């Protein structure tokens, strides 16, 4: 009986964090403090230096991963992108328990919203898989989908 309880507790502790985000807002805010200290010209400890680098790198990584959903972000200096996220975190402490990537994404989408996905020349972005495709391919896909729907409805 004792072994069964121990095994159950062990398995519960392992599986309880399966769906947890890599970082949450509280951890991001903790890293932000080191970045702010650096911005003020204060000397950082080795740990604070790592925290600052993690903070800046995390924001850049999230921004890069959602780049197609953010309009105009390429024209902005990276330091300003970090400042936008920092300001958002300062004003939205209520959401610090949210996953950090969602907070960064929300902050950046607020400042760099896109009404439509960008179209470049003869290429368009597919909203499902975010891959560049020709407009001709998209039209052919629409025709195939239409035929498939007709077959399914019969």
Query: Residue 2, Cβ neighbours under 10 Å: how many?
Result: 6
50-87 pLDDT, tens digit each: 999 999 999 999 888 887 777 788 888 888 999 999 99
Give me the pLDDT at residue 152, please.
Answer: 64
Percent pLDDT > 70 in the chain is: 62
Q: What is the mean pLDDT of residues 138-147?
A: 68
The domains of the chain are located at 22-111, 119-153
Per the DSSP assignment, residues forming a β-bridge with 124 are 119, 133
pTM of the predicted structure, to 2 decimals: 0.62
| Long-range CB pairs of 129-132, under 8 A, 24+ apart, other chains included | 130/68
Q: Which CATH number fits domain 22-111: 1.10.150.110, 3.30.479.30, 3.30.450.20, 1.10.890.40?
A: 1.10.890.40
Q: Is the pLDDT of residue 104 over 80?
A: yes
Q: What is the mean pLDDT of residues 128-146?
A: 60
Supply the angle between the helices 100-111 and 46-65 in degrees, to the nearest 10.
Answer: 60
Percent pLDDT > 90 in the chain is: 33
Q: Is the pLDDT of residue 113 over 50?
A: yes
């Amino acid at each position: 009986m004792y072994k069964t309880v121990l095994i159950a507790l062990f398995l519960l502790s392992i599986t309880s964090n399966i769906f947890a985000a890599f970082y949450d807002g509280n951890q991001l805010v903790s890293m932000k403090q080191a970045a702010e200290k650096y911005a003020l010209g204060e000397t950082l400890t080795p740990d604070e230096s790592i925290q600052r680098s993690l903070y800046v790198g995390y924001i850049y990584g999230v921004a890069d991963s959602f780049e197609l959903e953010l309009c105009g972000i390429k024209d902005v200096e990276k330091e300003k992108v970090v400042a936008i996220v920092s300001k958002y975190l300062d004003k939205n402490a209520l959401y610090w328990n949210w996953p950090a990537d969602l907070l960064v994404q929300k902050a950046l989408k607020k400042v760099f919203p896109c009404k439509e996905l960008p179209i470049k020349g003869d290429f368009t972005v597919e909203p499902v898989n975010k891959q560049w495709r020709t407009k001709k391919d998209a039209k052919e896909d629409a025709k195939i989908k239409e035929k498939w729907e007709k077959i399914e409805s019969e």
